[in-house]
Amino acid sequence: MSGRAKRQMTLGMIVGNRGFFPDHLARTGHQEMKAALEAAGVDVIVLTEADSKYGAVETRQEAAKCAALFAKHREAMDGVVVTLPNFGDERAIADTLRLAGLGVPVLVQATPDTPSKMTIRDRRDSFCGKMSTCNNLTQYGIPYSLTTLHTETPQSAEFKRDIDWFLAVCRVVKGLRRLRIGAIGARPAAFNTVRYSEKILERSGISVETVDLSEILGRVDRMKDGDAAAQGKLASIKKYVEVQNIPDAALLKMAKLGAVIDGWMRETEVTISAIQCWTALEEYFGVVPCTVMSMMSNDGLSSACEVDIAGVVGMHALQLASETPSALLDWNNNYADDPDKAVCFHCSNLPKHFFQSVKMDFQEIIAGTVGKENTFGTCVGRVKAGPMSFARFSTDDLNAKIRGYVGEGEFTNDSLETFGGAGVVKIPQLQRLLRYICENGFEHHVAANFSTVAGAVHEAATRYFGWDVHWHKA
């Protein structure tokens, strides 16, 4: 991610074993899975042979011991991998997860048999055992994820892809659970589309911390021009984006605004934000907040305009999955007569990560109302080509749930003459998606990311949060 190191991840590992089956497979299975996870850069928490037979879990006592080990590392744990080198004891596995009470994603893997090794000494039966494990987890009410193939070896290319996917799922779940979002200012009156329910978000552990825009501007007014935080932010802005032809007074206003928002977010322990813009900041403060927001999003601290709280949840989910910056865009225009292409646009606060090249300019739309001199601060440029994942979440107040959609496409190099931050997207069966959006009353905003992580976001949202999320596929 731009400007931020990727977070080290930690997974618990449960090795299933059952005495009726060749238990030497538990020893090699322990070794193979631990090596595969460590090769993926993961810290592994698992019983050793000093703790239980082959470091596996078969009895109630071993389940309690493994659960205690996991609980000891509760804060570090991102998820759990259940590996079945033989049939495994399904009750012990379920008991371990229940006793640990981690509430993290669980991946169930089973190692395949080899046709030439189907004797009583080497036959695994994990193909069958995986079904029993999943049956018991379902009975216990413990949600879990599955590998792409029913059986996969830990060293296979399939499992490597699956563990990368599962780590993304884990990041989304941990990142959204107990998430605190800063709502800076009121929703613009003209944007009924971004209404949301704090109470419904709270059910999923997502809290919203509000602050009146006047309080932020009051702090800005009290800040001296030479304040260290303001000057530090000013230097960061000049380093971040080309500011040629931007008045010094406007740059200082942006720097103060950014410094105050940074300070308020630290004080209130919020991670991401959504900010009122249209058009209070321009009329009464004299700049747009786009560059300040772009910088936050570029550093993984996703920031959405028009106080679109649900929109920034989508941004953050994609960012957590991919560990790269997200943007909030409008589904804005058709692209000629191609039914699978559209123009995605904002005016813009897109992170620098999104652009071929970028410079600071004024906001052409609002300038017509409040004057060019009050609208400096946009990040203007063409969105680069590359893979695209998209997501939109909404709070459905009538049915008391969170719903949404995810999918994948690409940003293209198609020609485009416009202003702001804009790119052409190509999405298979786009017309079907647009119909789905309109028929279900979704907003015109969509979160986007340069990645292919829709599957991970969908898994996290549906399986571990219980949200009603549609996955758009060709």
Q: What is the pLDDT of residue 438?
A: 98
Lowest mean pLDDT, pick from 125-129, 272-276, 370-374:
370-374
Q: Is the pLDDT of residue 169 over 90?
A: yes
Q: At what angle do helices 90-100 and 126-140 cross, to 10 degrees?
A: 40
Q: Give me the phi and psi of 303, to 5 degrees please.
A: -140, 125
Q: What is the pLDDT of residues 315-335, one digit of tens each?
A: 999 999 999 999 999 999 999
**Cα(15)–Cα(33) distance, rounded to whole angstroms?**
9
Q: Is the pLDDT of residue 2 over 70?
A: no
SS3 labels along the chain = CCCCCCCCCEEEEEEECCCCCCCHHHHHHHHHHHHHHHHCCCEEECCCCCCCHHHCECCHHHHHHHHHHHHHCCCCCCEEEEEECCCCCHHHHHHHHHHHCCCCCEEEEECCCCCCCCCCCCCCCHHHHHHHHHHHHHHHCCCCEECCCCCCCCCCHHHHHHHHHHHHHHHHHHHHCCCEEEEECCCCCCCHHHCCCHHHHHHCCCEEEEECHHHHHHHHHHCCCCCHHHHHHHHHHHHHCECCCCCHHHHHHHHHHHHHHHHHHHHHCCCEEEECCCCHHHHHCCCCCHHHHHHHHHCCCCEEECCCHHHHHHHHHHHHHHCCCEEEEEEEEECCCCCCEEEEEECCCCCHHHECCCEEEECHHHHHHHCHHHCEEEEEEEECCEEEEEEEEEEECCCCEEEEEEEEEEECCCCCCCCCEEEEEECCCHHHHHHHHHHCCCCCEEEEECCCCHHHHHHHHHHHCCCEEEECCC
Q: What is the pLDDT of residue 386?
A: 98
Q: What is the pLDDT of residues 10-54, one digit of tens each?
A: 999 999 998 777 789 999 999 999 999 999 999 999 999 999 999
| Residue 369 exposure: Cα atoms within 13 Å on the Cβ side | 11
For residue 4, what pLDDT band results from cuts at 50, 70 and 90?
A: low
Q: What is the pLDDT of residues 411-439, one digit of tens each?
A: 999 999 998 899 999 999 999 999 999 99
Q: What is the pLDDT of residues 109-123, one digit of tens each?
A: 999 999 988 787 888
* Mean pLDDT rounded to a whole number for the chain: 95
For residue 370, what pLDDT band results from cuts at 50, 70 and 90?
A: confident
Q: What is the pLDDT of residue 325?
A: 98
Whole-prediction pTM: 0.96
Q: What is the pLDDT of residues 132-156, one digit of tens each?
A: 999 999 999 999 999 999 999 999 9
Q: Is the pLDDT of residue 3 over 60?
A: no
Percent of the chain surpassing pLDDT 70: 99
**Cα(224)–Cα(220) distance, rounded to whole angstroms?**
8
Percent of the chain surpassing pLDDT 90: 88
CB atoms within 10 A of CB 192: 9
For residue 357, what pLDDT band results from cuts at 50, 70 and 90?
A: very high
Q: What is the pLDDT of residue 474?
A: 85
Lowest mean pLDDT, pick from 8-22, 230-244, 249-263, 387-401:
8-22
Record the tokens describing residue 259, joined without a space: 């410094």
* Average pLDDT rounded to a whole number, residues 357-382: 89
**Cα(146)–Cα(428) distance, rounded to whole angstroms?**
26
**Nearest Cα residue to 447 out of 198, 172, 257:** 172
